[in-house]
Structure 1
Amino acid sequence: MELEVRRVRQAFLSGRSRPLRFRLQQLEALRRMVQEREKDILTAIAADLCKSEFNVYSQEVITVLGEIDFMLENLPEWVTAKPVKKNVLTMLDEAYIQPQPLGVVLIIGAWNYPFVLTIQPLIGAIAAGNAVIIKPSELSENTAKI
């Protein structure tokens, strides 16, 4: 596990995940994966939790796709620097707040909603420019394989 954390941390420190273009590409790739593997996702969650395809689709897949779309639409605005009010000490400076990624994020999956409660935080972490390690729930083993 330490080797994996080191590898992910090095990937983050390389700066590769910070550009907006990279984040948008990763979110679009995640969206494609969800759409292409939709049937596999439905089957895995049904096997793990005995949920109907309708429940899985409406509670997990649609929610994830909606979250990705929301991020794709709003992320360009969210990553831009926001000017802040200047005071006597900063009046000659350029004062702004620039959102920055935090680093490596660990996402621990839940067993009861194994897809949405793992992928939704992943969407936010990717949008923020972080590198991610996912630890899926061992109680939802079929979903963890996806």
Structure 2
Amino acid sequence: MERQAVQRAKEAFLSGRTRPLEFRLQQLHALQRMITEKEAEISTALKQDINRSQYDTPLLELIGIENEIKLALEKLAVWAAPRPVERNLLTISDEVYIQPEPLGLVLIIGAWNYPWAVTLQPLVGAIAAGNAAVVKPSELSEHSSLLLRALLPRYLDKPLCLQSC
């Protein structure tokens, strides 16, 4: 199953779908919508997994993710824009710049004690960078893992954000 997930994510990345900024922004907005719409379900899963209070869930898990998404939405155009490079004698007549490019595939392994923050914060960065991701939630936080597996395909592009068992 893991090899198939990696191969499908790699193929999806190679298709070039993740490169446009509009696609990345759309995926980040979808992730933000998931956090907002499913906060109650996330709190319930964390209560079942690690007996976390519903009042602690936003503070310990969700606010950090939401802030990460907000930052990425605000700065993505700047982060992805070409940056000029100082010219030298060899490049004086050339147009020289650094163009940030996505590198490919990211593996994200979740943690049992912060199953949402430790899983979704790196996913924000992977999406913003234009990469595909294979997400492996912790099997020790069973309810959160099952909820993540159910929600991510509903909100994010399925081939580019796959779950591994």
In 1: Cα distance, 2:46 partner to 2:103 partner: 31
**Is there any run of 5+ residues in structure 1 with no aligned partner, and where?**
none
Displacement of 1:86 after TM fit?
A: 0.4
State yes or no: 1:42 paired with 2:40: no
Q: What amino acid maps onto 2:82 in structure 1?
A: A
- What secondary structure does 1:72 align onto? helix
Aligned to 2:53: 52
Displacement of 1:43 after TM fit?
A: 0.6
State yes or no: 1:69 paired with 2:76: no
Q: What amino acid maps onto 1:28 in structure 2?
A: H
**TM-score using structure 2 length:** 0.87
Displacement of 1:111 after TM fit?
A: 0.8
In 1: Cα distance, 2:94 partner to 2:46 partner: 54
Identity of aligned residues (%): 54
In 2: Cα distance, 1:46 partner to 1:67 partner: 24
Displacement of 1:78 after TM fit?
A: 0.8
Displacement of 1:61 after TM fit?
A: 1.0
Displacement of 1:76 after TM fit?
A: 0.9
CA-to-aligned-CA distance 1:84-141 (integer Å, 9 cap, x gap): 1000111111111111111010000011101000000000000000000000001001
In 2: Cα distance, 1:19 partner to 1:135 partner: 26
In 2: Cα distance, 1:116 partner to 1:76 partner: 24
In 1: Cα distance, 2:91 partner to 2:113 partner: 50
- What secondary structure does 2:55 align onto? helix
Query: Aligned residues, how many?
Result: 146
| Mapping 1:61-140, distance limit 5 Å | 61-140=62-141
CA-to-aligned-CA distance 1:12-37 (integer Å, 9 cap, x gap): 00000111000000000010111111
Aligned to 1:20: 21
Q: What amino acid maps onto 1:80 in structure 2?
A: A
**TM-score using structure 1 length:** 0.98
- What secondary structure does 2:106 align onto? strand
Q: CA RMSD in A?
A: 0.7
